Amino acid sequence: MKYQPKKDAKIVLEDGTVFYGKAAGHIGTAFGEICYNTGMTGYQEVFTDPSYHGQLMVLTNVHIGNYGVHDAEVESDEVHITGLICRDFQTTFSRPRSEDSLQDYFEKHQIVAVTDVDTRALVSYVRDQGAMNVVISSDENLSVEELLAKVKEYPSMEGLSLAPKVSTKETYTLGDENSDIRIAVMDYGVKKNILNCLADRGAFLKVFPYNTKIDEVKDFNPNGIFLSNGPGDPGAMTEEIEVVKQLVDLEKPLFGICLGHQLLALASGLTTYKMHNGHRGINHGVLNLESGKAEVTSQNHGFAVDDKSLDACQSVILTHKNLNDNSVEGIRRTDKNAFSVQYHPESNPGPHDSRYLFDQFINNIKQAK
């Protein structure tokens, strides 16, 4: 096979910092908010997680693409990252059950990637300077100056409501329709394996678009409410926050994950903020304050609930905290049957330490009945 030299590629951060690498995936230009994921496996689940919509991903693991892609390992029907930066992008794969290479997968979905990058230096820089917008480009006709001008015009993640871009457009159902456990799922960007974790426990799910009004949910007559994960700034979702308030008042057991957790917090009188970097990976330690047990968790979020706002809200207690920075990882309403966590207990990819939370939700529904 004749050697094919790689094209040059550029990484331009909005503060003017420039890194260089080589082109991979689709040839072109991509914008997004830069973030990094510390997981060692599960890159396809990461790429297809709707919570990553609008993010340009840096993976800290060195070898990416070495086990190819497999249709059963997606969390949604499309790739949601806007682009990828990595150290070693593999164009071949060794796993027999994989259907395709990551290179072909990225070309199919038109995802730009940059490889041969000093990702330790890049992640260290972003860790210190904080999340910011970035542009990557393998278009040789665009200069650094032109790319910098373009990325400075790209909208900030703060203030963006992205649920409309990832939520289902039509309601649909999943699970055993004869089940006496009926859960209304508010889809702000739900992952397939979250739905599977509920359906596998015998629940019948009806998944509603992000902007569904309370009357339509009531018509389904659920005995449980689930608020899904999703991308964007929860503070920008004012109409959805009002609906969550109404959902809480239905007096049905309610469970929220990630963005759903933040919306429950905002609907309960708490506040949220944009984090310096966010938490993304499958190796984040969390302490369950009620059981005293620690969990290794899968996380993906750039916004968090402000722990200081808990002091002024007597109807909400802290149930989980992050063991790295003490940030809020879980809350529970004391006046309603509602709880939520910031991390992803379905854990695909990731350890399954937190799947008990789905059992807890199902038990809450059974006890309420």
Residues with active-site annotation: 258, 344, 346
Which pair of structure tokens corresponds to residue 64?
């990416």
Inter-residue contact 102 to 68 (CB < 8 Å):
yes
Crossing angle for the helix pair 259-267 and 238-248, to the nearest 10 degrees = 70
Peptide bond into 349 cis (omega under 30): yes
The residue behind tokens 């210190």 is 128
Taking CA atoms, 206 is separated from 184, 185, 217, in Å, by 5, 6, 9
> Which amino acid would we find at residue 354?
S
Q: Residues 222, 204: contact at Cβ < 8 Å? A: no
Residue 217 Cα distances to 69, 171, 182, angstroms: 37, 11, 11
Distance from C-alpha of 332 to C-alpha of 316, rounded to nearest angstrom: 6
**Which residues, 6+ apart, have CB-to-CB distance to 253 below 8 Å?**
223, 224, 225, 337, 338, 361, 364, 365, 368
Judged on CB neighbours under 10 Å (0-12, 13-18, 19+), 293 is exposed
Q: Tell me the residue type at 237.
A: M
DSSP assigned state of 7: P
Q: Can you tell me the distance from the alpha carbon of 64 to that of 70, in angstroms, rounded to the nearest whole number?
A: 14
- Angstrom distance (rounded) from CA 106 to CA 100: 10
Q: Which residues of 125-142 are buried (b: 16+ CB within 10 A; e: fewer)?
A: bbeeeebebbbbbbbeeb
